[in-house]
């Protein structure tokens, strides 16, 4: 089976074709803000201007009759962006007369890693701009074991970075500055059961800019926020008796976060999987591949149910492709 | 720790050394986090856990008596009875309802009241492991407690429906707002969360 996948939840507009065995091709058109962070309307305009381009690019190399389904990122994400890729996906599915399938962006991040590694049943730490969740498969669904009570870790980093005068995306700049410091300034550490909260630390870090060195704040910010994530992951491994941990989402590119998770895992003899950078960031291949999984298990999305779902939770999706 | 160690249980946060007459919970250092943060967290949590466990006891909830706090180690009496998990029946479930209601009425949420974290001794139900406990009177926190307990029933007991019913009978006896807590439990369940 060959499936066309369209990703467009926030910043990266991406189209891809995958078969049962491999990613056939992918075309990307990232939206890069000139100033500030991601502006939903501007991102959507960028998507609208470029969606035909990325789709044409991947379709130019294939026989249209070989495509058996069209998958698109239905959520979670920015409404205006989701609507662009949803409209494009509907149009193509109707034109080709093939089924349409709305994919959960978070599950797509997990599935592409399960496809590309030997992972079968990991605990997943999914960290991106808007999302921060710890997930675990159980009884036909990815269950959310823990999640942020307020903002995502990526937004928290970006928010602080902007107030420190660092340009978007702030995460990599904070990471670089943090390497220059070893001085720890106490910051709010909020773990409640299996959930964490980042709004307090965002405020505290902004406040600290008045009195402390930027390098020290970046270091302390990362140490505190990442420790919260690692602690919940460790608890999740312990509670579920699972022994693999998978990192997914854009913030997963952070080397310090990877290092902390690796240390935690090695101390409890668990395996840690940091994904390849090409799949850490949002990509069309993961949407196409997850769409392929869904279609080959009889799941598709009727046009009437294909609207954008900005708050789409991974545990809303039935997962029949995992046994057990 | 001077007596022979009977068993060691390792959790995510601490190692628990079970001895002949006492139990020592050691919060182990975590190498992944900055040393300053590591020490601060372990200190605060050791303090809060012992405080809440003692408060619960004062409020009439059977919990092990704390014998000693040494740095990050808590030593408490060993409750030498079977885990509720292995002996639960409807009478015990009803008693658990009463105990959890007493705890909640004292403004404490246990955080992890599974059948593994309860011991039966002399017909009393002891709550152990206050590592995730907090002072929290909210319906949400109480709902989470009841939800976690129900899940532990569903996970390992065939007759969980009868056990739930018995638990609720016990919980409702003194906690008049049990119905509100129960509708919170339904809401939490509806979120699809797995706590």
Judged by CB atoms closer than 8 Å, whether chains meet at A237 and B12 is answered as yes
DSSP for A53-95 reads HHHHHHHTTS-GGGEEEEEEEEESS-HHHHHHHHHHHHHHHHH
- Is the minimum CB–CB distance between B12 and chain A shorter than 8 Å? yes
Percent of chain B residues topping a pLDDT of 90: 79
**B41 near A CB under 8 A:** yes
Q: What pTM, to 2 d.p., does this model score?
A: 0.88
Confirm if A85 and A72 have CB atoms less than 8 A apart. Answer: yes
What pLDDT shows up at residue B22?
A: 95
Contact A223 B33 (CB under 8 A): yes
- Closest CB from A145, A193, A224 relative to B37: A224
From chain A, pick out residues whose CB is under 8 angstroms from the CB of B34. Answer: 184, 223, 227
Residue A178 pLDDT level (bands cut at 50, 70, 90): very high
User: How high is the ipTM of this complex?
Assistant: 0.88
Give me the helix-helix angle, B90-105 and B160-174, nearest 10°. 40
Taking an 8 Å cut-off on Cβ atoms, the answer to whether B41 and A189 are in contact is yes
Which range has the worst mean pLDDT, A210-219, A292-301, B6-15, B96-105? B6-15
Which ranges constitute the DSSP H helices of chain A? 40-59, 79-96, 105-116, 153-163, 170-178, 199-208, 214-240, 255-267, 277-280, 284-296
User: If you count residue pairs, one on A and one on B, with CB atoms under 8 Å apart, how many are there?
Assistant: 67
To the nearest whole angstrom, how far is the Cα of A190 from the nearest Cα of chain B? Answer: 11
Contact B32 A184 (CB under 8 A): no
Q: B136-147 pLDDT, tens per residue?
A: 999 999 998 999
* Cβ count near A299 (within 10 Å): 18
- Position B195 scores a pLDDT of 41
CA distances from B164 to A178, A217, B152 (A): 51, 49, 11
Q: Say yes or no to pLDDT of B191 above 80.
A: no
Q: Hey, which bits of chain B come out as E strands? A: 5-10, 14-19, 22-27, 66-70, 73-77, 108-109, 118-121, 124-127, 134-135
What is the per-residue pLDDT across A19-51, written as a single tens digit (0 to 9) for each? 999 999 999 999 998 888 889 999 999 999 999
Could you tell me the pLDDT band of residue B194, with boundaries at 50, 70 and 90? very low
Cα dist. A292→A110, A111, A298, B114 in Å? 14, 11, 10, 40
Q: Could you tell me if B158 lies within 8 Å of chain A, comparing CB atoms?
A: no
State the helix-helix crossing angle for B178-190 and B160-174, rounded to 10 degrees.
Answer: 140
The per-residue pLDDT for A194 is: 83
Q: Decide if B40 and A186 are in contact by the 8 Å CB cutoff.
A: yes
CA distance A8 to A282: 8
Q: Give the pLDDT band of residue A280 (cuts 50, 70, 90).
A: confident
Asked if B30 has any chain A CB less than 8 Å from its own CB, the reply is yes
The pLDDT of residue B1 is 55
Answer whether B39 touches A (CB < 8 Å).
no
Domains and CATH numbers, chain B: 5-77 (3.30.200.20), 84-190 (1.10.510.10)
**CB contact, 8 Å: B11 with chain A?**
yes
**Active-site residue, selected from the candidate residues B112, B129, B145, B177:** B112
What domains can be seen in chain A, in order of their start residue? Answer: 2-109+279-316 (3.30.420.40), 120-277 (3.30.420.40)
Question: Is position B112 annotated as part of the catalytic site?
Answer: yes
Predicted confidence at residue B56, as pLDDT, reads 98
Closest of B129, B117, B32 to residue B74, by C-alpha: B129
Q: What is the pLDDT of residues A6-25, one digit of tens each?
A: 999 999 999 999 999 999 99
Is the CB of B43 inside 8 Å of chain A's CB atoms?
no
Of B12, B30, B34, the CB nearest to A184: B34
Summarised one tens digit per residue, pLDDT across range A114-166 is 998 888 899 999 998 888 999 999 888 999 888 988 899 999 999 999 999 99
Nearest residue, CB atoms, A223 vs list B13, B31, B37:
B37
- Return the SS3 of A128: coil
Question: Across chain A, what does the average pLDDT equal?
Answer: 94
CA distance A98 to chain B (A): 32
Q: Is the pLDDT of residue B193 over 70?
A: no
The reported pLDDT for the residue numbered B95 is 97
Q: Distance between CA atoms of B53 and A30, rounded to whole angstroms?
A: 53
Residue B73, chain A, CB below 8 Å: the answer is no
Question: How far is the alpha carbon of B132 from chain A, nearest alpha carbon, in Å?
Answer: 6
- Band (pLDDT 50/70/90 cuts) for residue B174 is confident
Average pLDDT, whole number, for chain B?
Answer: 92
pLDDT per residue as tens digits for the range A180-236: 999 999 999 998 878 889 989 999 999 999 999 999 999 999 999 999 999 999 999
As given in the structure block, the two tokens for residue A53 are: 């381009």
d(CA B100, CA B112): 11
């Amino acid at each position: 089976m060959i499936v066309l996948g369209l990703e467009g939840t926030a910043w990266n507009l991406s189209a891809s074709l995958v078969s049962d065995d491999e990613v056939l091709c992918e075309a990307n058109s990232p939206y890069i803000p000139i100033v500030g962070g991601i502006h939903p309307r501007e991102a959507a305009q960028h998507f609208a201007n470029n969606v035909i381009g990325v789709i044409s690019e991947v379709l130019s190399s294939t026989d249209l009759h070989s495509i058996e389904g069209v998958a698109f990122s239905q959520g979670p994400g920015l409404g205006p962006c989701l609507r662009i890729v949803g409209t494009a996906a509907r149009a193509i599915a109707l034109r080709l007369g093939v089924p349409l399938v709305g994919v959960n962006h978070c599950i797509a991040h997990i599935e592409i890693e399960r496809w590309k590694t030997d992972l079968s049943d990991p605990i997943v730490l999914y960290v991106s701009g808007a999302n921060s969740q710890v997930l675990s498969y159980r009884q036909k669904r990815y269950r959310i074991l823990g999640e942020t009570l307020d903002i995502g870790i990526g937004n928290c980093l970006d928010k602080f970075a902007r107030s420190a005068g660092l340009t978007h995306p702030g995460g990599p700049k904070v990471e670089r500055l943090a390497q220059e410091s070893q001085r720890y300034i106490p910051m709010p550490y909020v773990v409640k059961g299996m959930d964490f909260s980042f709004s307090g630390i965002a405020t505290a870090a902004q406040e600290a800019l008045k009195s402390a060195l930027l390098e020290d704040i970046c270091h302390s910010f990362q140490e505190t926020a990442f420790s919260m994530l690692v602690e919940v992951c460790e608890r999740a491994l312990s509670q579920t008796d699972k022994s693999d941990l998978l990192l997914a989402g854009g913030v997963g590119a952070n080397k310090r976060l990877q290092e902390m998770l690796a240390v935690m895992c090695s101390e409890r003899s668990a395996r840690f999987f940091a994904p390849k950078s090409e799949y850490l960031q949002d990509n069309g291949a993961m949407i196409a591949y997850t769409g392929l999984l869904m279609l080959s298990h009889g799941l598709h999305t009727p046009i009437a149910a294909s609207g954008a779902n900005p708050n789409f939770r991974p545990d809303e999706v039935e997962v029949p492709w995992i046994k057990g | 720790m001077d007596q022979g160690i009977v068993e060691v249980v390792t959790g995510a946060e601490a190692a628990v050394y079970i001895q002949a007459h006492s139990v020592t919970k050691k919060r182990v250092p975590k190498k992944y986090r900055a040393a300053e943060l590591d020490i601060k967290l372990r200190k605060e949590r050791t303090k809060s856990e012992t405080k809440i466990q003692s408060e619960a006891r004062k409020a009439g909830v059977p919990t092990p008596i704390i014998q000693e706090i040494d740095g990050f180690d808590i030593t408490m009496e060993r409750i030498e009875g079977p885990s509720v998990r292995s002996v639960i029946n409807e009478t015990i479930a009803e008693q658990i309802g009463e105990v959890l209601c007493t705890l909640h009425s004292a403004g404490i949420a246990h955080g992890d009241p599974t059948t593994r974290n309860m011991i039966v001794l002399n017909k009393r139900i002891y709550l152990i492991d206050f590592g995730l406990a907090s002072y929290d009177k909210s319906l949400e926190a109480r709902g989470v407690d009841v939800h976690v307990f129900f899940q532990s029933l569903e996970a390992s007991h065939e007759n969980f429906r009868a056990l739930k019913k018995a638990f609720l009978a016990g919980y409702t006896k003194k906690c008049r707002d049990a119905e509100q807590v129960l509708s919170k439990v339904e809401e939490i369940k509806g979120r699809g969360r797995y706590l």
